[in-house]
Amino acid sequence: MEKLMSRILQDGDIHLGGVLKVDTFINHQIDPVLMYDCAAELLERFSNRKFNKILTIESSGIAPAILAGYIAKLPVVFAKKAKPVCMGQAYSATIHSFTKDNDYNVMISEELLSADDHILFIDDFLAYGDAALGVIDICRQAGATIEGMGFLIEKKFQNGRYAIGKSDASVKVESLAIIESHLGF
Ligand code: 5GP
């Protein structure tokens, strides 16, 4: 997606260890018009799949996911990183964050995900694929079907797409901006 790629080239900043800083339009300050366009493009790319719910992980996936939900008029569920006292039984998975170099749990209430659900997952980045694998795990626990996984930015050199395919070959993966190599950025 031309618009996102040129914004990355203009305002993105590559850090040691292959971390791309996009704090001025995705991760800290958010450009809602760009996020809207990204959400619309992701929906277009998954228009051949039928889904009834959009899933993401807090916090940076929420902006594009909620705009996709707004356009498609579908509910948006975000996996929480901390369990509120009022949450009942929940599906959960442990995810390794390479940007923070730690493990964290994500959970989704059993009330919000079931075997009837067909899911479009949306997130800001696809790197090694750990977050995506956590979501695949949670959906398996619920018996939900993942129709697709859409990302704003994929860092191809970290092979997340391969990790997803190895875990579930039926999941369609789409990314709007693909960074081929951290050297080439
Ligand atoms: P993965 O689980 O695929 O290794 O990484 C995906 C998650 O890590 C994303 O949800 C995102 O929050 C974070 N992440 C991965 N790579 C980057 C990056 O280069 N820049 C930023 N800002 N976040 C990243």
102-131 pLDDT per residue, tens: 999 999 999 999 999 999 999 999 999 999
**Calpha distance 3→80 (Å, rounded):** 30
As beta bridge partners, residue 145 has 118
Q: What is the largest CA-CA distance in the chain?
A: 47
Residue 44 CB-half CA count within 13 A: 9
Q: 38 near 150, Cβ under 8 Å?
A: no
Ligand 1: nearest atom to the Cα of 163: 3
As beta bridge partners, residue 56 has 78
Going from the Cα of 99 to the center of ligand 1, the distance in angstroms, rounded, reads: 6
Q: Answer yes or no: is the C-beta of 41 below 6 A from any ligand 1 atom.
A: no
User: What's the rounded mean pLDDT across residues 74-80?
Assistant: 98
* pLDDT band per the 50, 70, 90 thresholds, residue 183: low
State pTM to two decimals.
Answer: 0.97
Q: Answer yes or no: is the C-beta of 60 below 6 A from any ligand 1 atom.
A: yes
User: What's the rounded mean pLDDT across residues 91-107?
Assistant: 94
Best residue among 4, 125, 159 to mutate for probing ligand 1, ranked by most atoms within 8 Å of CB: 125
As beta bridge partners, residue 179 has 155
At residue 1, the 3 state secondary structure works out as coil
Residue 21 CB-half CA count within 13 A: 8
Whether pLDDT at 21 is above 80: yes
- 79's tokens: 């996996």
Q: Tens of pLDDT along 137-176?
A: 999 999 999 999 999 999 999 999 999 999 999 999 999 9
Q: Answer yes or no: is the C-beta of 136 below 6 A from any ligand 1 atom.
A: no
Choose among 25, 17, 56: nearest CA to 150: 56
What local confidence, expressed as pLDDT, does residue 150 receive? 98
Going from the Cα of 60 to the center of ligand 1, the distance in angstroms, rounded, reads: 9
Going from the Cα of 87 to the center of ligand 1, the distance in angstroms, rounded, reads: 27
Going from the Cα of 142 to the center of ligand 1, the distance in angstroms, rounded, reads: 25
